[in-house]
Chain A
Amino acid sequence: MTQQHLVPTPGRPAQGRRVRVIPTLLIDRQGRLVKTVKFGKRAYIGDPINAVRIFNTKQVDELILIDIDASADGREPPYSRIAEIASEAFMPVAYGGGLIFEDQIARTIDCGVEKVILSGALAQGSELIGTAAQRWGSQAVTVCLPVGRNWRGRQQVRLKRGRKALKDDLNTVVTRVTEAGAGEIIVYAIDRDGTWDGYDIDLCARVATATTLPVVACGGAGQLAHFREAVEEAGCAAVAAGSLFVYQARGKGVLISYPAQDRLHSEFFAHLP
């Protein structure tokens, strides 16, 4: 034995609970890394491979990769791009965008990603979720619910870059997705996307209460304190962020970054329930 071994206090780990902190990478139809504001205006960020290499050195927990044009273009997922990105990533990768058939999921998984993200497919019901969960296991099936408001201010699931609203109310959709066999749910607040104003905590709490699955908060994170809110107040199991990890600061230039482990511990994990 060359090292002192970590022996935790009985029943508790020495450093406490951790929560996944996940960069969200959006790619456009040219395979470029972009960042949106409220699912609309886009800014060019750079090359996704370069970003993944930096995230490797920062030891990020996991990556969410979404082709935000695939579904609207009615296009296949960009398989060779996905494979290229996955082969660089020594952390779990979830891919979403344009997945509506089982064989597309099969090809995507073969590209080397751990999870697929189903979203646009919900327009056809939740059958694909069940099929995918049967074949690859629930842990491989993430469902992303982009949520926006209609003209009366009611929150609803809005697919295809926010343009196509599902008729069913949010709780019904969450229940259906859970029962169909999904492994986790990403709640993506459209009107918080790219704003740095913090997550929609009420929305996150509503979804986390309506399901037993792990819920990932997405849309609006601008500082580490927002992560705490999503977990402490809304009961989320993980947090995702875009702008925070691709810009230096609000209104500033591009900088691919990720908080250091000791900072995550002192400002986030140490305060968790």
Chain B
Amino acid sequence: MIVVVDYGAGNIRSVMNMLKALGAKARIAKDGTELGDATRLILPGVGHFDHGMSQLEARGFLEPLHTRVLNDRLPILGICLGAQLIARRSEEGERPGLGWVAADVVAFDSSRLGPELRVPHMGWAETWAHAPAVTQGKLPDVLADTLGLEARFYYVHSFHLLCDDPDTAVMRAHHGYEFAAAVALDNIMGFQFHPEKSHVHGKTILKAFLDWEPA
């Protein structure tokens, strides 16, 4: 069963709509006791980093999530804020993140953006496979197979992931400079963009996550 973590930070319904459109069976977990029969997890979310972490804690998600992700090694997909929460920390807040990926979350460097580009980065951006991640086999095949020349996704964010090993950021997009569009490590995947709001492009890549069997 696919379980979508609802911690009161974002639009769960859009994710459920897209899963339904894919014909996938999914349910919502409203607190840490409801992860029960999960075989695959989705951690969506928008908003402030600290709000997200404190809500995960308040709803008793922290311990069960650590167990299911790090011990049971369930495939998990973080989306937008959910993708940022898997990092160690964020410039947006004070609270530590989940720390599953050696990465920090940093603000867009507006000095590198040029006058025509603004923050939040809000809109569609073409998104591609990071070439060294492909050659090193860090980009999961399921993702590689979906990324054609036309791949584009909807983004809305003021912060982005910065990975210690840049090749953990397996997909890239551009807003003034190249940033991490997706990270993948072991059984953990994070999308900075919103697959649930990215038409057929999002549908295809969300399906890829559902089909993903991490090594």
Interface residues of A (CB under 8 A from B): 1-3, 5-8, 11-15, 17-20, 56, 59, 61-62, 86-87, 90-92, 109-114, 135-140, 183-184, 212-214, 231, 235, 237-238, 261, 272-273
Contact = CB atoms under 8 A, between A and B. Distances in A.
Interface residues of B, number: 48
Contacts of B150: 261
A113 to B, nearest CB: 7
Interface string B112-142: 0001101110111110110100100000010
B129 A5 contact: yes
A235 B131 CA distance: 33
19 contacts: A3-B147, A6-B148, A13-B128, A14-B149, A18-B124, A18-B126, A20-B122, A59-B200, A87-B13, A87-B17, A90-B202, A91-B199, A92-B154, A109-B11, A111-B13, A112-B14, A113-B11, A136-B47, A139-B120
Nearest to B46: A137
B126 A112 contact: no
A51 to B, nearest CB: 16
B107 interface: no
A64 to B, nearest CB: 13
B127 to A, nearest CB: 9
A114 B14 contact: yes
A20 B125 CA distance: 10
A138 B145 contact: no
B49 to A, nearest CB: 10
A237 B122 contact: yes
B48 to A, nearest CB: 6
Contact of B197 (A6, A92, A111, A235): A92
B194 interface: yes
B165 interface: no
Given A90-B203, A92-B194, A6 B147 contact: yes
B123 A14 contact: no
B118 A90 contact: no
B42 interface: no
A227 to B, nearest CB: 13
A221 B157 CA distance: 28
A3 B148 contact: yes
B175 to A, nearest CB: 9
Given A18-B152, A214-B122, A3 B144 contact: yes
Closest 9 CB pairs of A and B: A137-B47, A112-B13, A6-B128, A13-B174, A20-B123, A5-B129, A139-B156, A214-B118, A59-B199
